[in-house]
Structure 1
């Protein structure tokens, strides 16, 4: 996966101009921790079949992904945040979201390593 597909490089390059690389690494580390919590909360919402919790946690993760510059993760969350499909469909979306998130984190790490 190439960085331009996964990352909002204009945003991240803007961060690089304003911030030390170590700060950007800390931002990514914080996102990794938060996204794990969001994904767990989204899964809990599925188990509880709680539409309000689904939307709330997708919304929070959507903002976090946008701030971190993970554009594909953000786009996926935009697409699924307000969906009302059955819970099995949401399980599938959660699996895709989890994979996208891992891929984006890895691409971001690779990008950081080149800076």
Structure 2
């Protein structure tokens, strides 16, 4: 479970219960779709400001629900000034990692 901050999630579970933590995941899943769409739009419009702003928002959301690898990936790319072609590759990798981390979270919560 290297993708997850299981200490943070265990604390949430203890304080909030399975239902609320599951709801947090569901909310993140929906919101991350919005963030990823917005990041893709920043790439299409080649807006460095939008890229940073939208990566920053998603970084905070991923961190708050304990998705370590997604958070770390966003920390690494948020202020990137590399080519837009490279940023497209970052976006693709982010989509893949986000899906994988959500699966890991779902599996983790189902075992609680």
TM-score grouping bracket, smaller chain normalisation? over 0.9
2:15: which partner in 1? 18
Count of aligned pairs: 112
Offset of residue 80 of structure 1: 0.1
1:112: which partner in 2? 109
Cα distance in 2 for residues equivalent to 1:61 and 1:112:
21
Normalised to the residue count of structure 1, the TM-score between the two structures is 0.96
4+ residue runs over 6 A deviation: none
Cα distance in 1 for residues equivalent to 2:27 and 2:48:
27
2:88: which partner in 1? 91
- 1:29-74 Cα distance to aligned partner (Å, 9 max, x none): 0000010000000000000000000000000000000000000000
Question: Is residue 38 of structure 2 the alignment partner of residue 27 of structure 1?
Answer: no
Offset of residue 20 of structure 1: 1.4
1:101: which partner in 2? 98
Question: Is residue 59 of structure 2 the alignment partner of residue 62 of structure 1?
Answer: yes
Q: Equivalent residue of 2:79, what SS? A: coil
> CA RMSD, aligned part only?
0.4
Normalised to the residue count of structure 2, the TM-score between the two structures is 0.99
In structure 2, list runs of 5 or more residues that go unmatched. Answer: none
In structure 1, list runs of 5 or more residues that go unmatched. Answer: none
